[in-house]
Structure 1
Amino acid sequence: MSDQYKEAGVSLEAGYDSVRRIKSHVDRTRVKGTMDSIGAFGGMFDLEQAGFTNPVLVSGTDGVGTKLMLAFEMDKHDTIGIDAVAMCVNDVLVQGASPLFFLDYIAVGKNHPEVIEEIVKGVADGCVLSDAALIGGETAEMPDMYDPEHYDLAGFCVGAVDKDHLIVPKTEVGDVLIGLPSSGVHSNGFSLVRKVLFKDNHLDPHETFEELGNKKLGEVLLEPTRIYVKPVKSLFKKADIHGMAHITGGGFFENIPRMLKEGQGVEIQLDSFEKPAIFDFIQKYSNIPNDEMYNVFNMGIGFVIAAPESEAAKIQKLLSEAGQPSSVIGVITDSGQVVLK
């Protein structure tokens, strides 16, 4: 029976080998509340052991998108899992939730156990950075659906917050915006990136460029999404946070308004934070208008915290003590618009 399955393009033995290879990576993500459930039909987690008394569960799911195409091109698979985790945990963090656990889904054209191990290593790295447990997942081999050397990667995260500490938007005009730097492009806008750099301008991702610090273009683009969980969690119960935003697809124009009340807007001072060189590089080869760049990419700010001006210094000090740089990048207004200055 397994021989016929193998003839259809699916290797059970490769699947078993993948599971053996990833066990050590899963083990290092254990946190309080983790229950031994790898291999069971469902992942289990004990909320009481995790210390919650009146919990609200906050969930998020996402994938990595066409950034995966660059991972295939560069044959680099050990960081893309961090992106999958980051896109989920940064989202649940916005509402004041601490990520508890993560599950991944990897769909492949052909099961290469050594590649699966690299992918899951990245997922485990992301979970460690998030104080979250990797409690389960699925690897599906679908030879007629995907190219033998290609895969898709998505994930699902659940976090929890005690109901009294849930962060719902309570922004006020005059609140300041504290921006946390991104590590680069993160995991958004790669269909546009790939079009302008590789399809339109035929650049080689293996080529180094002086304006990118003499690094390979592909390596700069594959820099994993920054995970903000630990430094932002250091603010909980210590600072008056009025709202938060994860700057993903839609950039400043779509994501910042999601934490505002009706009729509010923001004014962003563009000279208040550093823009990674990769964004000027993309614009140089594309002539994308400035507003569109800020409507697609994070442009150097991956996470935004809104707080009373009187709280800003304390928040920045707490972030600094947690190893997270930050800068005041703007203010909330009554304009109902995102204004870039």
Structure 2
Amino acid sequence: MNILINNLSDRISSKEEKLLQAVHNVLKSGMIVLGPEVKAFEAEFAKYVGVTHCISMANGTDSLELSLKALGVEKNDKVGTAANAGMYTTTAVLAAGATPVFMDVDFKTRNATLDSVKTAISAGAKVIVVTHLYGQGVKEIEQIADYCKNHNVGLIEDCAQAHGAIINDKMVGSFGDVASFSFYPTKNLGALGDGGAVVTNSDTLADTLRRLRQYGWSTKYHVDLKNSRNSRLDEIQAAILRVFLPQLDQDNQKRRDIAAYYLKNIKNEHIVMPQMIDESYVAHLFVVQCQNRESLKAHLFEKHIYTDIHYPVPDHKQSIISSEFTDVTLANTEQLSNEVITLPCYPEMTLEQLETIVEGVNSWRK
């Protein structure tokens, strides 16, 4: 039997009765958009993260773009971002008319550092986006937040892969001016369709974001805010997220347990393993490194084990913008893009599946 990189059918079947009831309740209510399920989810998720406001949206990319706009990013402004996270943040930066200032990442954590943030701010970044990649919270996020505040630079936390990660007893998403979340189905907290949200402690930013997600309305049909759009989380998706949210911490622990099992049992000198398994890590993706990953990928595929590459092309090397960044060199980012490979890691995995994967990795020869 194939071992998939993620198996949503297992996740859905584990909550099928509650999910069907949640959908039925929405259909029976007749409230489809911005109704009681959305309001309830926003309140529950804000409380979970430890912030005052949650503004739900249609997807995680909208959440990033509208966060940039809420912080005043305009055409030709500069935004600091890492280049190893699949182009998602860079897409939002470009959509806002801004220019990315690419930050290299730490080779071991694969995340941006305080030093890289300082460099981006020195280069003129008006806003910094810090991504908690692969479920690993940025260890220096508190210092980064203080530095940005002291230099009057906006800070967005990209938490699309890190729902529930904790740094210094605080949830990621509670450090920046705003934080963006994705609820794409494969996320640690995922809907059964697209969805996203922005969280913040600022009443002013929350008000701006609520207007940005709905045409720029001040009141119904009265538009007073430019660069807005229609980006709303559906009632059905909000109801589904409310089913999964209470189990998020438990599922995150299962992910950590899987990661710990890999760390203990994978014994292959050609594989570089991640190093931190603590509450700052929610194991959204279990990413290892090797210098001949195509060989490893093919070897595992022969054993019916699926893998993926997160991510093969650094943002500054993407064809749509590479000509503008020919002078940019990000040594760690570029090496990682050639070496990273993702093993299956999701809460519903069985011990038999894990044993098969470990045997497959350990039997590979470079």
TM-score by length of 1: 0.28
TM-score by length of 2: 0.26
Query: Which has a greater percent of strand?
Result: 1
